[in-house]
Amino acid sequence: MALLAPYLLADGRLPVGAHTYSAGLEPAVAAGLTRAEIPALLRARLHTGVVTEAAAAVLALRAALRDPVDYAPVQEALAARTPTAPLREASAALGRGVHRLARRLAPGHPAVTALTRLHPRPLRPVTLGALGAVLGVGEEALAHGVVYDELQTIASAALKLLPGDPLDSVAWIIAAEADAARTVAEALAVRTPTELPARTPPLTEQWALEHDRRERRLFLA
């Protein structure tokens, strides 16, 4: 199971609602981001929000493997580091899809039942930690999955928002490798929820607020 699971986690076709998410690209494009700037946007994400998300997923995975399972500390730490309400809502909506999948795969697993006790709903990294525990995915694979997913989400959304040669998007992801590796290492080094990084991306937050007020949207956020 654990051989295939990391690929499942990182696969955009995993039916957990991720196709409704552009990881901030649609709001960025509305604010004027061009196709040429996408590699820079990927780099920005890897140095800010993705560090927090990957580290939170790893913390949640560790929490999922303890007895009893208590996600509250990591969920609260993550919520305090996600001050922008639409971004918390998007994370909770995406987490809901992951939670639904985890429930289907292992409804009685303590890592899954503990998710249901969280109110408000678990944020996506928390549910990914739980799913990782259910599937037997290790910390490093999980962190890589979160980081890769972010890059692929932006690159795929770009095909709809800033159309161009789809092969470009593969090159963007490969070019982001060094920054991605650094992000994974940083995420793995986090020991406690209090240490959870909180690298604020002010423009991304602003764009998310603008997107939330917009009527004609393709993506959730």
Partner 1 sequence: MTGPPAPAAGPAEPDDPTVVAVERDASGRHLARELSPGAFLAPRPLLPCADRLRIALVGTRAGLLAGDDLRLHVSVGPGARLELVEPSGLVAYDHRGGRSAWRARVDIAAGGRLDWDGKPFVVAHGARVDRTMEVTLAPGARMLWRDTLVLGRSGERGGSVRARTRAVYDGRELLVEDLDLTDPDLRELPGILGPNRIIGSVTALGARPPGPPHPYRTDLAGPGAQVRLLDTEAPAMEAELTALHEHWRTENENENE
Partner 2 sequence: MPDNASAQQSGQPAQGPNEHYHQPLNQPRALRIGVAGPVGTGKSSILATLCRELADELSMAVVTNDIYTDEDARFLRSAGVLPTERIRAVETGACPHTAIRDDVSANLDAVEDLEEAYGPLDLVLIESGGDNLTATFSPALADAQLFSIDVAGGGDVARKGGPGITGADLLVINKTDLAPHVEVDVAAMVADAERARDGLPVLALSKHDPESIARLADWVRAVLVRHRSGTHVPTDPGPMAPHSHSHDGS
- Using CB distances below 5 to 8 A depending on partner kind, what does residue 91 bind out of partner 1, partner 2, none? none
Is residue 171 classed as helix, strand or coil in its secondary structure? helix
Which of residues 23 and 77 has its CB atom nearest to partner 2 in the complex? 23
* Residues 95/127, Cβ–Cβ less than 8 Å: yes
* Residues 57/146, Cβ–Cβ less than 8 Å: yes
Q: Does 35 bind partner 2 (CB under 8 A)?
A: no
Give residue 57's identity as a one-letter amino acid code. Answer: A
For partner 2, which stretch binds (CB under 8 A), given 46-54, 71-79, 129-137, 157-165? 157-165
Least Å from the CB of residue 109 to partner 1: 27
- Using CB distances below 5 to 8 A depending on partner kind, what does residue 81 bind out of partner 2, partner 1, none? partner 1
For partner 1, which stretch binds (CB under 8 A), given 12-20, 60-68, 80-88, 138-146? 80-88
x/- track of binding to partner 2 for residues 104-123 (CB under 8 A): x--x--------x----x--
CA distance 181 to 197: 16
Q: How many CA atoms lie within 13 A of 158 on its CB side?
A: 24
* Residues 52/186, Cβ–Cβ less than 8 Å: no
CA distance 64 to 6: 17
Residues that bind partner 2 (CB under 8 A): 11-13, 15-22, 93, 96-97, 99-100, 103-104, 107, 116, 121, 152-153, 156-157, 159-160, 166, 215-220
